[in-house]
Structure 1
Amino acid sequence: MAPTQRLSAHFTLAEMTHSATAARKGIANVITPEVERQLFLTADRMEGVRALLGDKPISVLSGYRSEAVNKAVGGSKTSAHRTGHAVDFICPSFGTPAQVARYLAVHLKSYDQIIEEFDQWVHIGFGPGARRQYLKARKLAGRTVYSGIG
Protein backbone atom coordinates (compact mmCIF):
# COMPACT_ATOMS: atom_id res chain seq x y z
CA MET A 1 0.00 0.00 0.00
CA ALA A 2 1.35 3.45 -0.93
CA PRO A 3 1.79 5.94 1.96
CA THR A 4 -0.59 8.37 0.22
CA GLN A 5 -3.28 5.69 0.10
CA ARG A 6 -6.51 6.71 1.79
CA LEU A 7 -7.63 4.51 4.63
CA SER A 8 -10.90 6.46 4.78
CA ALA A 9 -12.36 9.73 3.51
CA HIS A 10 -10.21 11.88 5.80
CA PHE A 11 -7.28 9.70 6.92
CA THR A 12 -4.28 8.42 4.98
CA LEU A 13 -1.80 5.68 5.68
CA ALA A 14 0.96 8.30 5.83
CA GLU A 15 -0.63 10.25 8.67
CA MET A 16 -1.61 7.11 10.58
CA THR A 17 1.99 5.83 10.48
CA HIS A 18 3.95 9.10 10.71
CA SER A 19 6.28 9.52 13.65
CA ALA A 20 8.47 12.58 14.14
CA THR A 21 10.57 10.56 16.58
CA ALA A 22 11.05 7.77 14.02
CA ALA A 23 12.04 10.29 11.34
CA ARG A 24 14.45 12.09 13.66
CA LYS A 25 16.06 8.86 14.88
CA GLY A 26 15.99 7.01 11.55
CA ILE A 27 13.70 4.26 12.84
CA ALA A 28 11.52 2.41 10.33
CA ASN A 29 7.83 2.40 11.24
CA VAL A 30 6.85 -0.43 8.90
CA ILE A 31 3.41 -2.00 9.09
CA THR A 32 2.49 -5.64 8.71
CA PRO A 33 -0.53 -6.79 6.67
CA GLU A 34 -2.39 -7.38 9.95
CA VAL A 35 -1.69 -3.82 11.12
CA GLU A 36 -2.73 -2.50 7.69
CA ARG A 37 -6.12 -4.21 8.06
CA GLN A 38 -6.49 -2.76 11.55
CA LEU A 39 -5.59 0.75 10.36
CA PHE A 40 -8.50 0.64 7.91
CA LEU A 41 -10.81 -0.18 10.83
CA THR A 42 -9.25 2.47 13.07
CA ALA A 43 -9.54 5.12 10.34
CA ASP A 44 -13.19 4.20 9.94
CA ARG A 45 -13.71 4.64 13.70
CA MET A 46 -11.92 8.01 13.48
CA GLU A 47 -14.42 9.05 10.81
CA GLY A 48 -17.09 8.49 13.48
CA VAL A 49 -15.08 10.60 15.93
CA ARG A 50 -14.78 13.36 13.35
CA ALA A 51 -18.54 13.25 12.70
CA LEU A 52 -19.27 13.52 16.44
CA LEU A 53 -16.98 16.55 16.60
CA GLY A 54 -19.09 18.36 14.01
CA ASP A 55 -17.01 17.18 11.04
CA LYS A 56 -14.15 19.40 12.20
CA PRO A 57 -10.64 18.55 10.94
CA ILE A 58 -8.61 16.20 13.11
CA SER A 59 -4.82 16.33 13.23
CA VAL A 60 -3.29 12.93 13.93
CA LEU A 61 -0.19 13.24 16.09
CA SER A 62 0.49 9.52 16.44
CA GLY A 63 -1.16 6.40 15.12
CA TYR A 64 0.66 3.13 14.53
CA ARG A 65 4.03 2.67 16.23
CA SER A 66 6.39 -0.21 15.56
CA GLU A 67 7.94 -1.76 18.64
CA ALA A 68 11.13 0.27 18.10
CA VAL A 69 9.23 3.54 17.65
CA ASN A 70 7.05 2.82 20.67
CA LYS A 71 10.16 2.22 22.77
CA ALA A 72 11.79 5.41 21.44
CA VAL A 73 8.80 7.54 22.46
CA GLY A 74 8.59 5.89 25.89
CA GLY A 75 5.27 4.19 25.13
CA SER A 76 3.79 1.41 27.21
CA LYS A 77 4.80 -2.14 26.29
CA THR A 78 1.08 -2.91 25.92
CA SER A 79 0.26 0.25 23.96
CA ALA A 80 -2.64 -0.05 21.53
CA HIS A 81 -0.53 2.05 19.14
CA ARG A 82 1.60 -1.06 18.52
CA THR A 83 -1.33 -2.86 16.90
CA GLY A 84 -2.91 0.09 15.08
CA HIS A 85 -5.81 0.34 17.54
CA ALA A 86 -4.97 3.81 18.93
CA VAL A 87 -4.65 7.39 17.75
CA ASP A 88 -3.35 10.51 19.48
CA PHE A 89 -4.94 13.61 17.99
CA ILE A 90 -6.14 17.16 18.40
CA CYS A 91 -9.19 18.93 17.01
CA PRO A 92 -8.56 22.62 17.73
CA SER A 93 -11.62 23.88 15.86
CA PHE A 94 -13.80 21.85 18.27
CA GLY A 95 -11.95 22.76 21.46
CA THR A 96 -9.11 21.96 23.81
CA PRO A 97 -7.97 18.37 24.24
CA ALA A 98 -9.85 18.26 27.57
CA GLN A 99 -13.06 19.49 25.91
CA VAL A 100 -12.70 16.98 23.08
CA ALA A 101 -12.00 14.09 25.46
CA ARG A 102 -14.93 14.94 27.74
CA TYR A 103 -17.32 15.24 24.81
CA LEU A 104 -16.23 11.95 23.28
CA ALA A 105 -16.37 10.12 26.63
CA VAL A 106 -20.06 11.06 26.87
CA HIS A 107 -21.14 10.75 23.23
CA LEU A 108 -18.98 8.01 21.68
CA LYS A 109 -20.75 4.70 22.11
CA SER A 110 -17.84 2.28 21.85
CA TYR A 111 -14.19 2.75 22.74
CA ASP A 112 -11.58 1.14 24.93
CA GLN A 113 -9.83 4.23 26.29
CA ILE A 114 -10.00 7.98 26.00
CA ILE A 115 -7.09 9.69 27.71
CA GLU A 116 -6.52 13.43 28.12
CA GLU A 117 -2.75 13.36 27.80
CA PHE A 118 -0.70 16.10 29.44
CA ASP A 119 -3.23 18.81 28.40
CA GLN A 120 -1.75 18.46 24.90
CA TRP A 121 -3.74 15.83 22.97
CA VAL A 122 -6.38 13.12 23.17
CA HIS A 123 -5.50 9.43 23.03
CA ILE A 124 -8.28 7.18 21.83
CA GLY A 125 -8.02 3.42 21.78
CA PHE A 126 -10.49 1.22 19.95
CA GLY A 127 -9.69 -2.15 21.28
CA PRO A 128 -9.50 -4.96 21.38
CA GLY A 129 -11.34 -4.32 24.68
CA ALA A 130 -14.28 -1.99 25.16
CA ARG A 131 -13.64 -0.84 28.72
CA ARG A 132 -14.88 2.73 28.17
CA GLN A 133 -12.08 4.04 30.37
CA TYR A 134 -11.80 7.81 30.57
CA LEU A 135 -8.48 8.86 32.08
CA LYS A 136 -6.14 11.81 32.51
CA ALA A 137 -2.38 11.40 32.11
CA ARG A 138 -0.07 13.79 33.93
CA LYS A 139 3.65 13.86 34.72
CA LEU A 140 4.46 13.61 38.41
CA ALA A 141 8.09 13.47 39.49
CA GLY A 142 9.10 12.45 35.97
CA ARG A 143 6.61 9.56 35.77
CA THR A 144 3.32 9.34 33.92
CA VAL A 145 0.41 9.02 36.34
CA TYR A 146 -3.10 8.09 35.19
CA SER A 147 -6.24 9.01 37.05
CA GLY A 148 -9.80 8.01 36.33
CA ILE A 149 -12.47 10.54 35.50
CA GLY A 150 -16.17 10.10 36.28
Structure 2
Amino acid sequence: MKYFTIEELCRSTTAEHKGIDNRCSKEVAVNLTALVDNVLDPLRTWYGKPITVNSGYRCPVLNKAVGGAATSQHMSGQAADITTGDRGQNKLLFEYIHKSLPFDQLIDESDFAWVHVSYRADGKNRKQVLKL
Protein backbone atom coordinates (compact mmCIF):
# COMPACT_ATOMS: atom_id res chain seq x y z
CA MET A 1 0.00 0.00 0.00
CA LYS A 2 1.89 2.97 -1.34
CA TYR A 3 -0.64 5.76 -1.87
CA PHE A 4 -3.70 4.72 0.14
CA THR A 5 -4.31 3.69 3.75
CA ILE A 6 -6.84 1.45 5.45
CA GLU A 7 -7.97 4.47 7.49
CA GLU A 8 -8.62 6.45 4.31
CA LEU A 9 -10.63 3.58 2.85
CA CYS A 10 -12.77 3.37 6.01
CA ARG A 11 -13.30 7.12 6.45
CA SER A 12 -16.86 8.34 5.96
CA THR A 13 -18.38 11.73 6.66
CA THR A 14 -21.80 10.06 6.83
CA ALA A 15 -20.51 7.66 9.50
CA GLU A 16 -18.99 10.57 11.43
CA HIS A 17 -22.20 12.62 11.28
CA LYS A 18 -24.39 9.68 12.26
CA GLY A 19 -22.07 8.28 14.92
CA ILE A 20 -21.55 4.99 13.07
CA ASP A 21 -18.44 2.96 13.92
CA ASN A 22 -17.02 2.12 10.49
CA ARG A 23 -13.78 0.46 11.59
CA CYS A 24 -13.07 -2.71 9.65
CA SER A 25 -12.20 -6.25 10.67
CA LYS A 26 -8.90 -7.94 9.79
CA GLU A 27 -10.69 -9.90 7.05
CA VAL A 28 -11.99 -6.68 5.48
CA ALA A 29 -8.52 -5.12 5.79
CA VAL A 30 -7.12 -8.04 3.77
CA ASN A 31 -9.66 -7.31 1.01
CA LEU A 32 -8.95 -3.56 1.10
CA THR A 33 -5.22 -4.26 0.85
CA ALA A 34 -5.79 -6.48 -2.20
CA LEU A 35 -7.91 -3.74 -3.82
CA VAL A 36 -5.19 -1.17 -3.22
CA ASP A 37 -2.27 -3.39 -4.24
CA ASN A 38 -3.89 -4.66 -7.43
CA VAL A 39 -5.96 -1.69 -8.62
CA LEU A 40 -5.73 1.59 -6.73
CA ASP A 41 -1.95 1.89 -6.27
CA PRO A 42 -1.15 0.82 -9.87
CA LEU A 43 -3.81 3.28 -11.08
CA ARG A 44 -2.33 6.10 -8.99
CA THR A 45 1.18 5.28 -10.24
CA TRP A 46 -0.03 5.46 -13.85
CA TYR A 47 -2.11 8.61 -13.29
CA GLY A 48 0.65 10.47 -11.48
CA LYS A 49 -1.72 12.69 -9.48
CA PRO A 50 -3.90 12.23 -6.39
CA ILE A 51 -7.10 10.20 -6.59
CA THR A 52 -9.76 10.63 -3.92
CA VAL A 53 -11.67 7.73 -2.39
CA ASN A 54 -15.25 8.94 -1.89
CA SER A 55 -16.39 5.65 -0.40
CA GLY A 56 -14.44 2.53 0.46
CA TYR A 57 -15.41 0.11 3.21
CA ARG A 58 -18.94 0.46 4.56
CA CYS A 59 -20.16 -1.52 7.54
CA PRO A 60 -23.73 -2.81 7.03
CA VAL A 61 -25.22 0.05 9.09
CA LEU A 62 -23.38 2.68 7.04
CA ASN A 63 -24.21 0.92 3.78
CA LYS A 64 -27.90 1.08 4.68
CA ALA A 65 -27.58 4.73 5.76
CA VAL A 66 -26.17 5.73 2.35
CA GLY A 67 -28.68 3.63 0.38
CA GLY A 68 -26.13 1.07 -0.80
CA ALA A 69 -27.16 -2.21 -2.39
CA ALA A 70 -27.86 -5.05 0.03
CA THR A 71 -25.09 -7.07 -1.62
CA SER A 72 -22.63 -4.17 -2.03
CA GLN A 73 -18.98 -5.18 -2.26
CA HIS A 74 -18.21 -2.09 -0.18
CA MET A 75 -19.34 -4.10 2.88
CA SER A 76 -16.61 -6.69 2.34
CA GLY A 77 -13.88 -4.15 1.56
CA GLN A 78 -13.74 -5.19 -2.08
CA ALA A 79 -14.90 -1.88 -3.61
CA ALA A 80 -14.11 1.81 -3.74
CA ASP A 81 -15.73 4.83 -5.37
CA ILE A 82 -12.98 7.08 -6.67
CA THR A 83 -12.68 10.49 -8.31
CA THR A 84 -10.19 13.04 -9.54
CA GLY A 85 -12.78 15.78 -9.15
CA ASP A 86 -13.18 16.04 -12.93
CA ARG A 87 -15.50 13.93 -15.10
CA GLY A 88 -13.10 13.89 -18.04
CA GLN A 89 -10.24 12.68 -15.85
CA ASN A 90 -12.53 10.13 -14.18
CA LYS A 91 -13.28 8.77 -17.65
CA LEU A 92 -9.53 8.39 -18.22
CA LEU A 93 -9.25 6.41 -14.96
CA PHE A 94 -12.18 4.22 -16.02
CA GLU A 95 -10.65 3.51 -19.43
CA TYR A 96 -7.23 2.71 -17.95
CA ILE A 97 -8.70 0.30 -15.40
CA HIS A 98 -10.79 -1.34 -18.12
CA LYS A 99 -7.83 -1.87 -20.45
CA SER A 100 -4.95 -2.44 -18.07
CA LEU A 101 -5.91 -3.60 -14.57
CA PRO A 102 -7.66 -6.57 -12.97
CA PHE A 103 -11.12 -5.82 -11.57
CA ASP A 104 -14.39 -7.49 -10.66
CA GLN A 105 -16.78 -4.63 -11.39
CA LEU A 106 -16.12 -1.29 -13.04
CA ILE A 107 -19.01 1.16 -13.03
CA ASP A 108 -19.37 4.58 -14.67
CA GLU A 109 -21.51 6.34 -12.07
CA SER A 110 -23.65 9.26 -13.29
CA ASP A 111 -21.65 10.01 -16.45
CA PHE A 112 -18.27 9.76 -14.71
CA ALA A 113 -19.19 11.80 -11.62
CA TRP A 114 -17.15 9.04 -9.97
CA VAL A 115 -15.90 5.54 -10.79
CA HIS A 116 -16.80 2.44 -8.80
CA VAL A 117 -14.20 -0.31 -8.95
CA SER A 118 -14.09 -3.63 -7.13
CA TYR A 119 -11.56 -6.42 -6.88
CA ARG A 120 -11.83 -9.92 -5.48
CA ALA A 121 -8.73 -11.22 -3.73
CA ASP A 122 -9.77 -14.81 -4.52
CA GLY A 123 -9.09 -14.11 -8.20
CA LYS A 124 -12.68 -14.73 -9.32
CA ASN A 125 -12.95 -11.33 -10.99
CA ARG A 126 -15.79 -11.06 -13.52
CA LYS A 127 -14.48 -8.03 -15.46
CA GLN A 128 -18.07 -6.70 -15.43
CA VAL A 129 -18.45 -3.18 -16.88
CA LEU A 130 -21.61 -1.18 -16.13
CA LYS A 131 -23.00 2.32 -16.53
CA LEU A 132 -25.41 3.71 -13.92
TM tier relative to shorter chain: 0.7 to 0.9
CA shift, 1:72, in A, is 0.6
Output the CA distance in 2 between the equivalents of 1:81 and 1:42: 11
Task: For CA contacts below 8 A with separation 6 or more, give which structure has more relative contact order.
Answer: 2
Higher helix share: 2
Output the CA distance in 1 between the equivalents of 2:2 and 2:96: 23
Q: Which moved more, 1:113-122 or 1:126-135?
A: 126-135
- Corresponding residue to 1:42 among 20, 35, 42: 35
Q: Which has the larger radius of gyration?
A: 1
CA shift, 1:37, in A, is 1.8
SS of residue in 1 equivalent to 2:115: strand
- Corresponding residue to 2:45 among 35, 51, 55: 51
Partner residue, 1:142: none
Structure 2 counterparts to residues 81-120 of structure 1, below 5 A: 81-92=74-85, 95-108=88-101, 110-119=102-111, 120=113
Taking a change above 3 Å as real, the CA distance of residues 94 and 107 of structure 1, as seen in their structure-2 partners, is farther
TM-score by length of 2: 0.86
Output the CA distance in 2 between the equivalents of 1:70 and 1:90: 19
TM-score by length of 1: 0.77
Q: Is the 8 A contact 2:105 2:127 kept in 1?
A: yes
Q: Deviations over 1:63-94 (max 9, x none)?
A: 10000000111111111110111111113489
CA shift, 1:30, in A, is 2.1
SS of residue in 2 equivalent to 1:96: helix
